[in-house]
Structure 1
Amino acid sequence: MNNDFEDIRFYKDEEVEEALREYVRHPMVKALFQFTFPEKEYSEIEELVVSCRSIRDFQTKVIYHSVDKVLERTTGGLTYSGFNDLKEDESYFYISNHRDIILDTSLLNYTLYDHNLIMTASAIGDNLVQKNFLLALSRLNRNFLVLRGLGPREMLKSSMKLSEYIRKLLFKDKRSVWMAQREGRTKDGSDHTQQGVLKMLAMAKGKMSLAEYFSNLKMVPVAISYEFDPTDILKMPELMAKRMKETYVKSANEDFNSIMQGAMGQKGRIHISACGVLNEDVFTEIEQNVGSVNDQLKAVAEKIDQKIYENYKLWPANYIACDLVNNNEKYASKYTDKEKRQFERRLTRRVGYKNALELNSYLLMYASPVINKESMYEKKS
């Protein structure tokens, strides 16, 4: 097994103080800390920050309060479900839908801390932390890197290393792990688990069967639901290019702008749901009834999707968008006239009504979770 994880690992506790001293006066880092502690002089903040001697210190003394401030200023509150069913001393593999670059995992860890559960080491694409201060902050938050943009041979080696690192974290270090169900955020509102993510995860199973290994991971699907996506308009160019079958090229600061808008934009209410541990019976049944490994991975992906759709909190905006897409009032009981007017105002500020494809694409961002839940229940009945 490969034990050389230097290029992807997060900071060790003994490296934390030095990293904090190096970046505590960086303008962007300073802005984050001043946002977190607006009542303090910066000398006080600096003293607090450099007193952190471990990642847990930094997360609980500083970052927890940063997330708290984001929730206070940009949301209508955070609710959660399912976390009381998890055990305090257990490490879990959390796999969630992916809507926001930073907040998805930040909100999960905020919730885990509140429930006295083991917080996660979290995967992040190296393309998102090209700026040195972002890389430092990510490593201080127990993020490990997923290397992007590699050739086929390098990608295979990198995936194997990543898989072994996740196995080490879960089994040896007893550290929970978070990973998004897909590479890149969901742009169209329709959350689907990519088989490639599960294939990478299975690379380190050794002599275990897929069912045995996935059972040992203690896999917990997580559904994160934002009432409004503050980056919805930023996602539109890529979404439109995809629908027009055109090549989309990201602008230089696009990911950074999405991080900032995701953190500081208004999100309405947020719900995060731990969807229960996928137990051994689930994987054994798939192994016994499904042929090839690829088909088994596909079946596991569908099971994760099913759990996320079941537990995804639907807001009035989701039902309104679904009715507008279908030009009916099927879900009229789920929202008020006032809520519909407010959503339509949001719509007119963001897209051109005369562009049918643009209008439809925007509406589907909010309607897709309803459509997916409908589809899931139709399959089961």
Structure 2
Amino acid sequence: MPSSARRAVIVGAFNTRQARVLEGETSDSITLTAIRGALDDAGLRVADVDGLNVLPGLDYLNGSRVFGYALGIPYFWVGRAAPGPASVVEAAHAIEAGVCDTVVLAAGEAGIHTDRAAVAPWTRPSNEFIECWGLMTPAEFALSAREYMWRYSVDPVQIAYIAAVIRNNGSRNPEAVYHGRGPFTAEDILASRMIAEPYHLLDCAMTAEGGSALVMTTAERARDLSGRGVHVLGGGSESWGPSYTHPPTYERVGMLGRRAGDRAFAQAGLARSDVDVFELYDNFSWEIIRYFEALRYCEVGEGAAFVADGAIEIGGDYPIVTDGGTMSHSHTGESQRHQRVVQAVRQLRGTSAANQVADARVALVAALGDIVLLGA
């Protein structure tokens, strides 16, 4: 166990402006804007930073090193985990082990100008199953959703309700790309065109441009800063794959995140009922049910009933995706996973731009098999 002085704390959280297209911006420039914003929020300078996990665009290999050099940081720890919960947990481990003291996590994407008539470029990587047979991301994720709905006799209206809740959260959020687009009903979701059965257009994430960043440091350093820190209480990460080459059957992906969630709650010493807000990666509507079942909030096959009747709305027992998520707030390739953490931090600070959950003290952030628990 690390000493209390070295426990990891998030002290800076920032999203740039999000838009369908950010004219005049590049992935590098919008990521730099996010970093500056997060450091300002933390009350720290570049000179304080000795750890980086930076992903401009999709430059997984060199992003941190390029930015470290450009920012003038002579030597620095480099994180390798994917943005969002996984990178937060990795950075927390590094800080608590004394490998580094202050870490910037950032990602951004702009200047892509995605063909709006097609799915996003990152959902159709060069692969024989995509180029020949069309197994792009929406089709891949639809397979397990359709199998689940058949297996447990789920009405499509129950799935569409989830998308309506998330999009309505975004409609109320002035920072969301789709602010003011709503309200939606389940019937509105089902009336949108089919993309990959059972997913209609409004069941799916959009594409957008923007950046997001976080700053983490030790509890000891955080005490000297003026902002309100958010503690990393526990986390876990697991994966499966390789994607696009093996069928994502329900048996393969349905419980993704279960063991990671068990580890996160055990580390935090919390019960499931202690969580006040759920910032879940909402790439497709059924995934919300999958999260709640995998994380043991309800039995397998009971998720559709569990989320019904206002349970996941603001004011319900399990409020989800409070900024509008990838369906309504933004979807920027990878930085949207950081946005899940940024929104959790804002909820715990009581500074959400909309849909503030009253007295939120514990937040769960989940992105596929990556889980982190945060506490005010």
State the TM-score bracket (shorter-chain normalisation). Answer: under 0.3
TM-score (norm 2): 0.24
Select the structure with the greater relative contact order (CA < 8 A; seq sep ≥ 6): 2
Question: Rg bigger for which structure?
Answer: 1
More strand by share: 2
More helix, by proportion? 1
The TM-score normalised by the length of structure 1 is: 0.24
